[in-house]
Structures are given as structure tokens and as C-alpha cells.
């Protein structure tokens, strides 16, 4: 069995959260809206309607490209991908084929053993979403609310050899989309969709296998990993039995925990791509790319590295804290608040992670004080505390004067002084009370 | 006033301003004339019951909110657009009303009007002849004085050719000058909306009304380049170099038409123009390249007519539409793209360069619009190739995206002949000025078809 190695490529689609649609003015915020209420002549494909490029979407696509270390093309074009399906009102999807907006990028992924591999990214291109079909009681209903919502496709090279790499890649992409603020990237809502091309070859071979199985319509990371695992096993078994595998599209049946055939090669389309005559070339000025580059937020990968070097926290903790931009910001705010009273970033990281702090409800200050208070018990004797307080008051005349002149905030740094001297091993409320008594006597 | 309907657009505007007649009288005069003449010529597919404002006729491929728009196809026989084309909104702002929607070749595919699902329009000059196409009804409506002016669309000659065959003025603007939003697409990289009028000055006015970006047609150009100034120095063409392409006077050009065109060129010379011979060497490949590019775009543009959201099923497409869908689908197929579509795109670039080179020697290029005058109804309908070749002089300018004007310049066999004046990209101003100077120094634009005593 283990003389085979899987060869996997990934196509990821992500819906952008722009205000309007890719090529017209109606709202792109269609989720849970009344069917066919977010439509206009263009995304309904009415006769005479025309597409008009949404510049915000183009910028978002470029941001994704830049985050994935891609080159931004000087000249790119939209093309028409022609095929018939009732959810595709124009009879073609406006997409990119020969001239994608971003190309030749990469992203580093980790497998389950922590080995890091660079996954090459072939292209990041802009396209539009389709409508949605609902099949009920022998009838099919079409909702065009999703029609022409901006969609970005990220195509990797077949550089994955393990499903854990795929999982890490997808997770990292999701994080990047959220950091960039270009999409909610919610798998269940369909904001983010994964397609994997899976084949296997004998270890040592370098050529790509002459077939590939496309896994499609799988709406969670977990199911995708399961489907890939299943496919690898199925394909190896088939090859071992001397079967010949051919190109096909398969889906995932979660109940049976197996993949199933959706479409075979014979049914493959000829999309008849050609440059969309309704849309001009996109010529990208260097200055525009530069200004986008300089406006890019710090991305998860860089943040992890900085958290480790600046705060001395563990890699595992850094990765957890960087999971969302909000959590990372919260951590940094807490570290800032903790500085004054000598609460260390490591303690803060551990506390936030272990206690699963609800960052929407608990204020960073509360976390800091809570951590300080947890160290209570070691110094209970008020006399001892008073001694330290006296020392601190002597050493910090300026803060004492400030306090007496009405800057009551100055007490914070005095508390911090006591905390430092005691290694935080005092009850912060006791310290505050003692300090207040002495300062106001 | 029984000659209200004989006035040009500008004359009508002036008469209204001077209160020589009211808007109601104006519409009544046109409506009465339409009632008498339309049944014979089959010009209108839809006639407004109570027309108001300035009565314009609109080619039925341009979407009009709440007014049925068929594109001459059975497939859209019940299609009432929920929105209007940009040009319609713009005309409305200028006080222009719609008196009716005009007949055309189905989806603008044709050169004779005979591909309409609603029967052919007849030429007002001779009812046994075709009016040209595909803006057949619009050109015939202007020629028969059934509107003050009309809008048509031109993809490979569909404004200029029927204007020529009906003896009226037709202007195909530069690609990108007039927003296409709301004009049902035939070939998106070629389609342009333009005016068909009773005078060159009218065409200039309408062009100015409808030009400029609308935020919906991505290929529309900057408004700064859309101003057309009226003709300054009338009656003199001194200093103007007029190019005559030798390729436009070869085999296939009817002798009678050639004679009329040569006389028109002589007239331009008399008016002071310097006549220079120019060459457009790739002209012979234009029709072939056009049919590949156009039909490729058609095959994709027609895909939306699936009968799901509007209209009937695709079995209702006429034979010419089906022919072009098949041609285009083939040309774009894997393995054929490079030999057909990509090659045709290269030819298109060469043709564009031909014009750029020629325009180094002259300000405008003149020649025939159509190799023949209007032919008999039914004469070419069974022979698509001959029909395609009737657009040989209009197609190159379409591929190059440059503006072209057809101005009445005489008659052959009692049927009108149009002089084509082609200009540099976005230089409508020069072709309109030269066209107007020619028009005003000849009498051709005053000739009207004899539509009998009922008219």
C-alpha cells in the first residue's frame, strides 16, 4: 500500500463580501434575503443588459493575490466560459482563463508532523457566482440572488501529498480571507468552497498521473479531508487490482462515508472560452499595486512570528491567538494593559487560551486583574504588604505627587510597582486599598 | 399644415418653438401617415396609441420599458422589458417620444430585412425591393416620413446600408461612443447604436444627445471626446484630403452605383477637396474575419435565450440565427479556436492598421456603402453567401471601430445610392461636416419616394 503517493491539487472558491455584485449595482449581501430580490437586468441575464466591472472586487482579488505572494498581471482580461445550466442566466460565466489577475504565488503549509512545504499557487482569478437551484416536489426553483456575486478562484499546483496539508492550506486561506476582510469565508454558508483533484502514483515517479478525480460540492474541511482519505485508499486499491482510472467528478456521502460518481469524462464540457467582448482589458498600473501593497494588514503567518519574538510565547499559543484578527488584537491589548502591573504575555496567553475568554464580553483589563489576583495567597500578611507599599511610595515620589494633585490614575503605576516587587503574588485589591489609605492619610 | 411630416428634426424643433404647430398636431400628422402607409410597407412592429413629444422610431432591438421589444424574433414575441436602454432614457430627457418600434432582421442578423419573424419591410422607393438591413424599418420609416428620426444599430453595416438603400442619412458612431446598454446584443465588440435621419445636421444632433459613458457599458469612452461641434465653414472643402480606397471599386461593384459614387467624388473635388488614392489591402479578408468574430460572439450572446426567464424556447430561432450560432460554436471549439477566432482577431488588427495608415494621407475615406442598389425581395434569401458579400464595404469600418456615415448621393435604376464617408476613430465631427457640406451643395436629400395619392 505505502508504495503509492497521493498527488493533490486544490481549487478554492471564495465569495467576496462587496456591497454590490461583480458586474452590476444590486446588493451582493443576499444571504437569507427573499428569493430573487437582489437582482437587476444584468445578473438576470435580460436581453440588452451589460456587465460593468466592480472595482472593489478587483482590489479584493488583488489583495488575496498579494497575500499569496502572487504577481499581479500588468494586463488581464475577462473571458466567457460558455455552458448551459439553468442557474447561469447568460448561458456563460464571466471568468478568467488565459489572462488571470494574479499568478505564480505560493503558501507554506504544515502537515500533521509539523513538516513545512511550499505549495505553489498557479493563479488567483476573478469571476462571478451562479444562481441557486432548489429541487422540490418534482419542481425546480431558481433564485438569482447569488447570481453574479463576486467570486475569486485560487488554483494550486498539484503539490499536496497528504490530506493534513490540504487541511492546513484551507484553514490558512480562510484565515487570510478573514484578515483581509474580503470574505466571511464561511464553509457552511458556501462563502468558501473547496474542490480537490486527487490521484495517486508510485513513489519515485515524477510525472503527473494520467487521470485525476475531482472532488466537488463538499462543504466542510472535515468532510474534504475524509473524502480525500477515502479516495486515496479507493484509488490505490483499484490500481492494485489492475483497474484503469479515468477522469471523473465525485461527491462525498457523509452517511455512507464514501465518495460517489457525479460525472464522468465523457460528459465533460467544451467551455469555448473567448475574451468577453463586453469588457475592456484591465491594465494594472504599478502605483495601484504599490498602494494596495502598502495598505495590506499584517497577515497570520507574520503575526505568529512576531508574537513569538516580541512576547516570547510558544508557537502553539501564537497560532491559536492569531486564529482570528480579533483575538490577536485582544491579546495585544491585554499585554499592553498587563505591562503596568507586571503581568507577563505568557500568563496572558495561557489564561486567554485555557479559560477560553469570551473576547466580546470580558475586557482586557479584567483579564489582567484576574491573572494578578490568581496569584493571591502567597503574601497574605497586610503588614508585609504595607512594608512593600511604603518602599514603593518612597521610590515613586512623582506618582505620589501626581496622585495628590488629582491624577488618581497614577495609582496604577504604584500598584504595578508593588506587583513587580512581590512578583505579582499579592491581592491587587488589598494593594489598592492600602495604597489609597496611605496616600489619602 | 400637411407637410409637417416632411420636415427634418431640426426644422420640426424650430417649428415647435415658433409654435407653427403643436406637439399634438405633430404626432397626429405622423400617426395619420403611419396608418396609411405602414400596412403596405410593414415598417412598424408596434405603434404607440397616444404618442407624445417628438415622434422618433426605435429599432425593435433597443429595449423600451413597458413597450414590447421583439428583436424581430418569434422568441421574444411576448417580451416586455422592465427597463429602458440608456439611449432611450437620454432621448426622453431631451423631450423625445417613441412613436413606434421598427421592424428588423431577427436579432439584427441580415442585410435585407427578410429575416424578420414578422415579415419583411418593403422599400418605400419601390415596394418590390428590400429596404436593406438590419435596421430596415428605421431606415424605411425615415424615408417614408413616418417619424422625425429613427435609431438603428450597426454591427457590420446595419445602419449605413439600409440608409443607403432607402436614400436617407445613417451614422454608425465609433465603437464606444454611444452606450449599448439596452440594445439586445448581436456581436458585442461591433454593435453600435446610431441615428438614421433626414439630414446630416439631424444626425449630429441626435449623436450628441445619445453619446457618452453611462456607467453600464464598460466599453464606452470618456465624455470629453464626445462633443460634436456644428459645421463651421459651410460650402467649402478646401484643405480637406479625401481618400478613395482602390479596393472599394473592384469586382462586384455595380456599374450604375460606381458611376454615382464617382460623380459624388467629383463633386467633393469641385467643393475644394483634394482627392487622394489610398489602399486598404486587407479588405478582401474582412468579410471572412467578420463572420468568424461576429458569429462567435453571437453563439455566446444567444445562449441566454433559453426560454426559462423570458421568451419562448430556442426552437423559435429563425434559420439565419441558427446558422450563426452553429458557425460561432464551431469557431470557438477546442482545437479550432487558434485557427479561426484567434486568426480572425489578427486580421481585425491588420484591418485597423490599414485604416490608420490610410488616414495618414487623408482626413476621410469615401466610397460606396453597398455594391448594389436595393434588390428584389426574395432575390438573395436562399443564398446567404451573396447576402453576406453585400456588406463588403461596411464591414471593414465595423471591425476597425471607426465611424461611418451614409449620405444620399444619387440614384441608379431609380433607386437611391448612398455615399459612405469614413473617419478616424472618434472623429465623427469631420465626417459629419464633410457630409453636411456635400449634402447642402446637392439636392439628393430633398428627393422623396412617391408613395401614391393615399400618402
Q: What's the average model confidence in pLDDT over B313-331?
A: 96
Based on the fold, state whether residues A316 and A209 are members of the same structural domain: no
Is there a contact between B72 and B135 (Cβ–Cβ < 8 Å)? no
Buried b vs exposed e over A247-270: b needs ≥16 C-beta within 10 Å? bbbbbbeeeeeebeeeeeeeeeee
- In this structure, the strands spanning B415-423 and B404-412 are antiparallel
Q: Which residue has the higher pLDDT, B390 or B261?
A: B261
Structure confidence at residue B236 as a pLDDT band (50, 70, 90): confident
Nearest CA-CA distance, residue B78 and chain A, Å: 13
Based on the fold, state whether residues A189 and A329 are members of the same structural domain: no
Q: Mean pLDDT in each 10-residue stretch from start to end of chain A (441 residues)?
A: 88 98 96 95 97 97 98 97 96 97 97 95 98 93 97 98 96 97 94 96 92 92 95 95 93 94 81 97 95 95 95 94 94 91 89 89 88 65 83 89 87 86 76 86 75
Q: Among the options B59, B101, B129, B172, which is catalytic?
A: B59
What pLDDT was estimated at residue A277?
Answer: 98
Nearest CA-CA distance, residue B83 and chain A, Å: 8
Give CA separation, B315 vs B75, B311, B318, B319, B321, in Å: 8, 11, 8, 10, 11
* Residue that terminates a domain, selected from A374, A406, A424: A374
Based on the fold, state whether residues A305 and A244 are members of the same structural domain: no
Q: Which chain B residue lies closest to A44 (C-alpha atoms)?
A: B309
What pLDDT was estimated at residue B118?
Answer: 98
User: Which residue in A160, A162, A169 sits closest to A112, CA to CA?
Assistant: A162
Instruction: Based on the residue annotation, tell me whether B357 is a catalytic residue of this protein.
Output: no
What pLDDT was estimated at residue B227?
Answer: 66
Query: Rounded to whole angstroms, how far apart are CA atoms B158 and B173?
Result: 12
Instruction: Based on the residue annotation, tell me whether B74 is a catalytic residue of this protein.
Output: no
Based on the fold, state whether residues A171 and A92 are members of the same structural domain: yes
Based on the fold, state whether residues A348 and A399 are members of the same structural domain: no
What pLDDT was estimated at residue B412?
Answer: 98
Instruction: Based on the residue annotation, tell me whether B441 is a catalytic residue of this protein.
Output: no
Which residues of A, range 174-203, sit inside 8 Å of B by Cβ? Answer: none
Instruction: Report CB contact under 8 Å: B310, A47.
Output: yes
Q: Does A217 touch chain B (CB under 8 A)?
A: no
What pLDDT was estimated at residue B224?
Answer: 67
What pLDDT was estimated at residue A420?
Answer: 81
Based on the fold, state whether residues A424 and A351 are members of the same structural domain: no
- CA-based max dimension of chain B: 66
Q: Among the options B134, B296, B390, B398, which is catalytic?
A: B134
Q: What percent of chain B has pLDDT over 90?
A: 90
What pLDDT was estimated at residue B388?
Answer: 85
Based on the fold, state whether residues A75 and A171 are members of the same structural domain: yes
What pLDDT was estimated at residue B3?
Answer: 87
Average pLDDT, whole number, for chain B?
95
Based on the fold, state whether residues A353 and A433 are members of the same structural domain: no
| Cell output for A290 | 504599490
Based on the fold, state whether residues A119 and A27 are members of the same structural domain: yes
Question: What digits encode the pLDDT tens for the residues B147-178?
Answer: 999 999 999 999 999 999 999 999 999 999 99
Based on the fold, state whether residues A111 and A136 are members of the same structural domain: yes
User: Which residue in A273, A258, A356 sits closest to A94, CA to CA?
Assistant: A273
Nearest CA-CA distance, residue A138 and chain B, Å: 16
Nearest to A52 among B215, B303, B329 (CB): B215
The SS3 assignment for B140 reads helix
Which residues of A, range 324-363, sit inside 8 Å of B by Cβ? Answer: none
Query: Rounded to whole angstroms, how far apart are CA atoms A61 and A55?
Result: 10
Residues of B in contact with A278 (CB under 8 A): 185, 188, 217-219
Q: Does A236 touch chain B (CB under 8 A)?
A: no
What pLDDT was estimated at residue A377?
Answer: 52
At how many degrees (to 10) do helices B9-17 and B23-41 cross? Answer: 150
**Other CB atoms within 10 A of residue A333 CB:** 17
Domains of chain B: residue spans and CATH:
4-446 (3.90.1300.10)
Question: Whole domain around residue A61: which residue ranges?
Answer: 4-294
Query: Rounded to whole angstroms, how far apart are CA atoms B322 and B302?
Result: 10
**Residues making up chain A, counted from first to last:** 441
Residue at grid coordinates 498581471:
A73
Q: What percent of chain B has pLDDT over 70?
A: 96
Q: Does A268 touch chain B (CB under 8 A)?
A: no
Query: Rounded to whole angstroms, how far apart are CA atoms A371 and B238?
Result: 93
Nearest to B216 among A50, A86, A273 (CB): A50
Question: What digits encode the pLDDT tens for the residues B58-82?
Answer: 999 999 999 999 999 999 999 999 9
* Residue that terminates a domain, selected from A294, A325, A344: A294
Mutate to test the interface with B, among A23, A50, A86, A141 (most CBs of B within 10 A): A50
Is there a contact between A199 and A212 (Cβ–Cβ < 8 Å)? yes
- In this structure, the strands spanning B54-59 and B149-154 are parallel
Instruction: Report CB contact under 8 Å: A53, B332.
Output: no
- In this structure, the strands spanning A274-275 and A258-264 are unpaired
User: Which residue in A261, A259, A273, A187 sits closest to A229, CA to CA?
Assistant: A259
Judge if pTM exceeds 0.95.
no
What pLDDT was estimated at residue A339?
Answer: 86
**DSSP assignment letter at B338:** I
Count of domains observed in chain A: 3
Structure confidence at residue B233 as a pLDDT band (50, 70, 90): low
What pLDDT was estimated at residue A217?
Answer: 86
Query: Rounded to whole angstroms, how far apart are CA atoms B376 and B381?
Result: 10
Nearest to A48 among B63, B296, B308 (CB): B63
What pLDDT was estimated at residue B1?
Answer: 42
Instruction: Report CB contact under 8 Å: A86, B306.
Output: yes
Nearest to B189 among A51, A86, A277 (CB): A277
Structure confidence at residue B232 as a pLDDT band (50, 70, 90): low
Instruction: Report CB contact under 8 Å: A84, B303.
Output: yes
Element (H, E) at B423: strand B415-423
Q: Among the options B84, B112, B158, B295, which is catalytic?
A: B158
For residue A323, the number of C-alpha atoms closer than 13 Å in the C-beta half-sphere is 8
CATH of the domain at A398: 1.10.10.410
Strand partners, B407: B419
Q: Does A283 touch chain B (CB under 8 A)?
A: no
The SS3 assignment for B309 reads coil
Helix-strand-coil split of chain B, %, nearest 5: 40, 15, 45
**DSSP assignment letter at B308:** S
Residues of B in contact with A92 (CB under 8 A): 300, 303
To 5 degrees, how large is the angle CA A188–CA A191–CA A196?
80
Residues sharing a CB contact under 8 Å with residue A396, sequence separation 6 or more, in sequence order: A413, A414, A417
B66 φ, ψ (degrees, to nearest 5): 65, 5
**Other CB atoms within 10 A of residue A32 CB:** 7
**DSSP assignment letter at B341:** I
Query: Rounded to whole angstroms, how far apart are CA atoms A299 and A180?
Result: 8
Nearest to B332 among A45, A50, A274 (CB): A274
* Residue that terminates a domain, selected from A260, A294, A328: A294
What pLDDT was estimated at residue B269?
Answer: 96
Nearest to B300 among A41, A82, A142 (CB): A82
Based on the fold, state whether residues A134 and A272 are members of the same structural domain: yes
User: Which residue in A23, A47, A39, A145 sits closest to B81, CA to CA?
Assistant: A47
Give CA separation, A128 vs A22, A270, B174, in Å: 6, 19, 30
Based on the fold, state whether residues A355 and A394 are members of the same structural domain: no
Q: Does A85 touch chain B (CB under 8 A)?
A: no
Query: Rounded to whole angstroms, how far apart are CA atoms B322 and B339?
Result: 22
Q: A242 burial class (0-12, 13-18, 19+ CB within 10 angstroms)?
A: exposed
Residues of B in contact with A50 (CB under 8 A): 180-181, 185, 216-218
Is there a contact between A429 and A437 (Cβ–Cβ < 8 Å)? no
Amino acid at each position: 500500500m505505502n508504495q503509492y503517493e497521493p498527488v493533490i491539487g486544490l481549487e478554492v472558491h471564495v465569495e467576496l463580501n462587496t456591497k454590490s455584485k461583480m458586474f452590476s449595482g444590486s446588493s451582493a449581501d443576499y444571504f437569507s434575503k427573499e428569493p430573487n430580490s437582489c437582482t437587476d437586468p444584468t445578473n438576470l441575464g435580460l436581453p440588452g443588459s451589460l456587465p460593468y466591472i466592480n472595482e472593489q472586487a478587483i482590489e479584493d482579488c488583488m489583495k488575496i493575490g498579494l497575500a499569496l505572494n502572487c504577481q499581479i498581471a500588468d494586463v488581464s482580461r475577462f473571458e466567457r466560459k460558455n455552458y448551459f445550466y439553468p442557474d447561469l442566466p447568460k448561458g456563460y460565466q464571466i471568468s478568467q482563463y488565459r489572462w488571470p489577475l494574479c499568478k505564480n504565488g505560493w503558501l507554506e503549509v504544515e502537515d500533521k508532523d509539523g513538516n513545512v512545504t511550499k505549495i505553489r499557487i498557479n493563479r488567483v482569478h476573478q469571476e462571478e457566482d451562479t444562481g441557486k437551484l432548489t429541487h422540490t416536489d418534482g419542481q425546480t426553483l431558481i433564485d438569482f440572488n447569488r447570481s453574479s456575486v463576486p467570486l475569486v478562484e485560487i488554483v494550486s499546483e498539484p503539490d499536496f501529498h497528504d490530506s493534513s496539508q490540504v487541511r492546513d492550506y484551507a484553514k490558512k486561506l480562510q484565515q487570510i480571507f478573514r484578515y483581509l476582510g474580503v470574505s466571511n469565508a464561511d464553509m457552511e454558508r458556501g462563502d468558501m468552497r473547496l474542490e480537490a483533484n486527487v490521484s495517486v502514483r508510485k513513489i519515485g515517479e515524477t510525472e503527473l498521473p494520467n487521470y485525476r478525480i475531482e472532488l466537488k460540492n463538499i462543504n466542510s474541511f472535515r468532510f474534504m479531508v475524509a473524502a480525500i482519505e477515502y479516495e486515496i485508499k479507493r484509488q490505490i486499491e483499484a490500481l492494485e487490482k489492475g483497474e484503469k482510472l479515468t477522469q471523473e467528478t465525485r461527491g462525498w456521502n457523509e452517511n455512507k462515508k464514501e465518495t460517489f460518481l457525479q460525472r464522468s469524462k465523457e460528459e465533460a464540457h467544451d467551455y469555448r472560452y473567448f475574451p468577453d467582448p463586453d469588457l475592456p482589458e484591465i491594465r494594472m498600473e504599478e502605483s495601484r499595486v504599490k498602494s494596495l501593497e502598502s495598505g495590506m494588514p499584517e497577515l497570520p503567518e507574520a503575526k505568529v512570528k512576531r508574537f513569538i519574538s516580541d512576547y516570547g510565547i510558544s508557537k502553539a499559543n501564537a497560532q491559536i491567538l492569531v486564529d482570528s484578527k480579533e483575538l490577536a488584537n485582544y491579546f495585544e491589548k491585554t499585554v499592553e494593559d498587563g505591562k503596568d502591573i507586571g503581568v507577563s504575555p505568557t500568563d496572558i496567553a495561557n489564561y486567554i487560551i485555557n479559560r477560553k475568554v469570551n473576547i466580546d464580553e470580558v475586557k482586557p483589563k479584567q483579564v489582567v486583574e484576574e491573572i494578578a489576583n490568581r496569584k493571591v495567597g502567597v503574601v497574605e500578611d497586610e503588614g508585609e504588604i504595607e512594608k512593600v507599599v511604603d518602599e514603593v511610595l518612597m521610590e515613586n515620589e512623582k506618582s505620589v505627587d501626581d496622585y495628590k494633585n488629582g491624577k488618581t490614575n497614577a495609582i496604577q503605576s504604584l500598584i504595578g510597582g508593588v506587583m513587580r516587587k512581590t512578583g505579582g503574588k499579592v491581592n491587587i485589591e488589598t494593594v489598592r486599598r492600602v495604597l489609597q489609605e496611605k496616600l489619602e492619610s | 399644415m400637411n407637410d409637417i411630416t416632411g420636415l427634418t428634426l431640426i426644422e420640426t424643433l424650430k417649428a415647435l418653438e415658433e409654435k407653427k404647430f403643436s406637439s399634438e398636431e405633430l404626432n397626429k400628422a405622423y400617426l395619420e401617415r403611419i396608418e396609411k402607409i405602414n400596412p403596405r410597407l410593414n415598417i412598424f412592429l408596434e405603434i404607440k396609441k397616444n404618442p407624445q413629444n417628438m415622434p422618433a422610431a426605435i429599432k425593435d432591438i433597443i429595449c423600451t420599458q413597458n413597450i414590447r421589444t421583439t428583436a424581430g424574433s418569434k422568441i421574444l414575441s411576448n417580451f416586455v422589458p422592465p427597463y429602458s436602454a440608456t439611449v432611450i432614457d437620454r432621448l426622453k430627457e431631451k423631450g423625445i417620444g417613441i412613436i413606434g418600434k421598427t421592424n428588423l432582421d431577427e436579432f439584427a442578423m441580415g442585410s435585407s430585412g427578410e429575416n424578420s419573424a414578422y415579415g419583411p419591410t418593403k422599400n418605400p422607393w419601390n415596394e418590390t425591393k428590400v429596404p436593406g438591413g438590419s435596421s430596415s424599418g428605421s431606415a424605411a420609416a425615415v424615408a417614408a416620413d413616418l417619424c422625425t428620426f429613427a435609431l438603428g444599430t450597426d454591427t457590420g453595416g446595419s445602419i449605413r446600408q439600409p440608409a443607403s438603400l432607402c436614400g436617407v442619412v445613417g451614422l454608425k458612431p465609433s465603437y464606444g461612443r454611444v452606450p449599448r446598454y439596452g440594445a439586445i446584443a448581436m456581436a458585442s465588440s461591433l454593435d453600435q447604436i446610431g441615428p438614421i435621419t433626414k439630414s446630416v445636421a439631424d444626425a449630429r444632433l441626435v449623436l450628441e444627445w445619445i453619446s457618452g459613458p453611462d456607467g453600464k457599458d464598460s466599453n464606452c469612452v470618456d465624455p470629453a471626446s464626445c462633443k460634436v461641434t456644428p459645421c463651421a465653414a459651410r460650402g467649402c472643402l478646401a484643405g480637406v484630403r479625401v481618400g478613395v480606397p482602390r479596393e472599394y471599386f473592384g469586382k462586384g461593384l455595380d456599374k450604375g452605383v460606381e458611376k454615382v459614387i464617382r460623380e459624388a467624388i467629383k463633386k467633393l473635388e469641385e467643393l475644394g477637396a483634394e482627392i487622394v488614392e489610398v489602399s486598404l489591402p486587407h479588405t478582401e479578408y474582412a468579410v471572412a474575419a467578420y463572420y468568424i468574430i461576429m458569429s462567435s460572439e453571437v453563439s455566446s450572446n444567444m445562449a441566454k435565450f433559453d426560454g426559462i426567464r423570458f421568451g419562448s424556447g430556442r426552437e423559435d430561432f429563425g434559420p439565419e440565427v441558427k446558422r450563426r450560432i452553429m458557425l460561432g460554436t464551431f469557431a470557438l471549439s477546442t482545437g479550432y479556436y487558434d485557427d479561426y477566432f484567434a486568426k480572425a482577431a489578427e486580421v481585425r488588427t491588420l484591418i485597423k492598421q490599414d485604416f490608420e495608415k490610410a488616414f495618414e494621407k487623408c482626413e476621410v475615406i469615401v466610397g460606396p456603402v453597398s455594391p448594389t442598389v436595393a434588390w428584389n425581395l426574395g432575390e438573395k434569401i436562399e443564398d446567404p453567401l451573396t447576402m453576406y458579400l453585400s456588406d463588403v464595404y461596411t464591414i471593414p469600418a465595423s471591425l476597425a471601430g471607426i465611424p461611418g456615415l451614409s449620405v444620399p448621393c444619387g440614384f441608379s435604376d431609380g433607386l437611391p445610392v448612398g455615399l459612405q464617408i469614413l473617419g478616424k476613430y472618434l472623429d465623427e465631427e469631420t465626417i459629419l461636416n464633410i457630409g453636411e457640406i456635400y449634402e447642402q451643395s446637392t439636392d439628393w436629400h430633398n428627393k422623396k419616394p412617391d408613395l401614391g395619392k393615399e400618402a
